Amino acid sequence: MAERILVINPNSSLSCTDGIAAAIAPFAAPGLPRLDVTRIVDGPPAIVTWRDWYGIAEPLCRLVESEPADAYIIGCVSDPGLEAVRTVTDKPVFGTLRCAIAAAMMRGERFGIVAFTDKSKPRQRRALQAMGVEDRLAGTVPLNLDMEVLTDPVAPRARLAEAARQLVALGAEAVILGCAGMASHRAFAEDACGVPVIEPCQAAVTQALLAVVAARAGRLRMAAE
């Protein structure tokens, strides 16, 4: 059976899901696991509040239990349900925020986050605290835009450029796009601010590919012995 990595958008937005699919499409190649993207059809339009964040854990668990894959990625940059989903599968499960933070720290000593809204900040702080890297955060600047504005090809770009430049002024040497709805704007934001910009779904896919290919190599080695 072909290897598969499943990226799950925990919100119901089609435009956000399509943006994730477009962002990770360059990582597909012959010989690598297939990359599939899906969404929680009955999920909230966006993960905005703590209630959204906690409430989506069970739907994520049910989806993972019903969809076999070699690795899973939760496509929301506050990692909702990550710990819960890891209890229902023996396959690796990646949170896009944690992967993005790891990638950002490989590009600079301090990083900044362009957040979806002000309400995103405490949820993202939780991940920073769990990783023990809160002191590496230069700052967080929220866009406070609706999801459908965020996923528009043009509408959020002036605000996004401003936010990215603010973070660089605060000392960020890398910038994380703090919502999967920003996925299509990575190159624009990087051009605007002049430092590496990390798109979290891309960061998670690189880690998932590494995990699945490494597991494959292990199986081949054991079969040859």
The CATH number covering residue 52 comes to: 3.40.50.12500
Instruction: Identify the pLDDT of residue 217.
Output: 72
What is the tens place of the pLDDT at every residue in 2-59? 899 999 999 999 999 999 999 999 999 999 999 999 999 999 999 999 999 999 999 9
- pLDDT beyond 90 at 221: no
- pLDDT beyond 70 at 1: no
Residue recorded with tokens 């956000």 = 16
Residue 121 belongs to what domain range? Answer: 97-201
Residue where one domain finishes, among candidates 95, 114, 134: 95
Instruction: Identify the pLDDT of residue 13.
Output: 94
103 falls within a domain: yes
- In this prediction the pTM is 0.93
31 and 122 inside one domain: no
Instruction: Identify the pLDDT of residue 225.
Output: 62
Taking residues 159-173, what's their average pLDDT?
98
How many domains does the structure of the chain reveal? 2
19 falls within a domain: yes
125 falls within a domain: yes
* Residues linked to residue 141 through DSSP beta bridges, in sequence order: 114
What is the tens place of the pLDDT at every residue in 118-161? 999 999 999 999 999 999 999 999 999 999 999 999 999 999 99
Residue recorded with tokens 């909702």 = 80
14 and 54 inside one domain: yes
Taking residues 69-81, what's their average pLDDT?
97
Taking residues 86-103, what's their average pLDDT?
98
Contact 201, 6 (CB under 8 A): no
Contact 108, 172 (CB under 8 A): yes
Taking residues 62-86, what's their average pLDDT?
97
75 and 117 inside one domain: no
Cα angle, residue 153 at apex, residues 148 and 155 outer, rounded to 5°: 65
Instruction: Identify the pLDDT of residue 223.
Output: 64
Residue recorded with tokens 């998670």 = 204
DSSP 118-175: TTHHHHHHHHHHHHT-GGGEEEEEE----HHHHTSSSTTHHHHHHHHHHHHHTT-SEE
Phi-psi region of 7 (alpha: psi -120 to 50; beta: other; left: phi over 0): beta
146 falls within a domain: yes
181 and 126 inside one domain: yes
172 and 101 inside one domain: yes
225 falls within a domain: no
Taking residues 86-110, what's their average pLDDT?
97
85 and 130 inside one domain: no
Contact 9, 38 (CB under 8 A): yes
Contact 12, 38 (CB under 8 A): no
What is the tens place of the pLDDT at every residue in 178-220? 999 999 999 999 999 999 999 999 999 999 999 999 988 767 6
Four-point Cα dihedral 181, 145, 136, 126, nearest 10: -80
